């Protein structure tokens, strides 16, 4: 390490530094019910603990904050999440489980892309893993790619291709977490599809 200026206080305005250096991610109770979670797209309730990822504002000077539900951040932004977990003085409910989720997501580089599961609404899309078409009505896992503060949809993979693509089969909790739109029955079907390793049968195409 060479001459680091230890005398100057480290603040956001301290001058140029490597991206992300000196950023202090945070946990805080949401002061309103209007912030939207970047991980799942849903609102964060008033008073609910939220995670803030601080990053340089790409549209000008200063910093910006991306807000997340803690669980959404643990899965999708494990690195800053774990950093904040170490630094925070806030009490974080279910801390151990969140830390486990974040470490799991960090262990395989593609896991943070998991954006939930659904039955393919058409037979048009191709699997990013095996490059075959995803049959209409079969389960697929949506992917979202993070870049510079944004998540962009990036296709999907067959549920059955999960091991090949994510290099681990241990993704059920994460997939279910990002599938809040699924009804109870669909969730059960998805659970079963995970258990059997099958893709689940396509519902009969009527009409
Ligand atoms: Zn969320
Ligand atoms: Zn596939």
Q: Are 104 and 111 in contact (CB under 8 A)?
A: yes
The alpha carbon of 170 and the centre of ligand 2 are apart by a number of angstroms equal to 17
Q: Please give the distance, rounded to the nearest whole angstrom, from the Cα atom of residue 39 to the centre of ligand 1.
A: 5
Q: Which ligand has its closest atom nearest to the C-alpha of 39?
A: 1
Query: From the CA of 13, how far away is ligand 1's center (Å)?
Result: 30
Ligand with the closest atom to the CA of 164: 2
Per-residue pLDDT, 108? 96
pLDDT by residue for the chain (207 residues), tens only, comes to 444 434 433 443 434 445 555 678 999 999 999 999 999 999 999 999 999 999 988 788 889 999 999 999 999 999 999 999 999 999 999 999 999 999 999 999 999 999 999 999 999 999 999 999 999 999 999 999 999 889 999 999 999 999 999 999 889 999 999 999 999 999 999 999 998 864 444 444 444
* Ligand 2 centroid – CA 128 distance (Å): 7
Q: Which long-range contacts (CB under 8 A, 24 or more apart) does 102-105 make?
A: 102/73, 102/74, 102/75, 102/78, 103/78, 104/170, 104/174, 105/74, 105/75, 105/76, 105/78, 105/174
Q: Write down the pLDDT at residue 10.
A: 40
Instruction: Tell me the CA–centroid distance for residue 161 and ligand 1, in Å.
Output: 25
Quote the CA–CA distance of 155 and 125 in Å, as a whole number: 8
pTM (two decimals)? 0.83
Q: How close is the Cα of 120 to the center of ligand 1, in Å?
A: 23
pLDDT of residue 22: 63
Report the Cα–Cα distance between both ends of the chain, in Å, rounded: 69
Per the DSSP assignment, residues forming a β-bridge with 133 are 126
Is 25 in a helix, a strand, or coil?
coil
pLDDT for 59 equals 80
- CA 21–ligand 2 middle distance (angstroms): 38
């Amino acid at each position: 390490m060479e001459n680091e200026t230890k005398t100057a206080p480290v603040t956001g305005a301290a001058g140029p530094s490597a991206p992300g250096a000196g950023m202090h991610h945070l946990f805080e109770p949401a002061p309103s019910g209007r912030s939207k979670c970047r991980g799942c797209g849903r609102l964060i309730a008033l008073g609910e603990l939220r995670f803030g990822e601080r990053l340089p504002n790409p549209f000008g000077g200063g910093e910006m904050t991306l807000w997340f539900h803690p669980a959404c951040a643990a899965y999708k932004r494990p690195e800053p999440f774990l950093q904040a977990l170490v630094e925070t003085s806030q009490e974080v409910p279910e801390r151990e489980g969140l830390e486990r989720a974040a470490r799991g997501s960090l262990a395989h580089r593609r896991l943070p892309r998991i954006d939930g599961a659904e039955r393919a609404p058409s037979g048009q899309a191709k699997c990013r893993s095996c490059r075959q078409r995803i049959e209409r009505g079969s389960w697929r896992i949506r992917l979202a790619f993070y870049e510079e503060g944004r998540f962009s949809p990036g296709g999907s993979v067959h549920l059955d291709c999960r091991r090949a693509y994510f290099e681990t089969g241990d993704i059920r909790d994460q997939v279910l977490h990002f599938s809040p739109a699924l009804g109870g029955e669909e969730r059960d079907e998805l659970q079963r599809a995970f258990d059997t390793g099958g893709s689940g049968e396509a519902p009969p195409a009527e009409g």
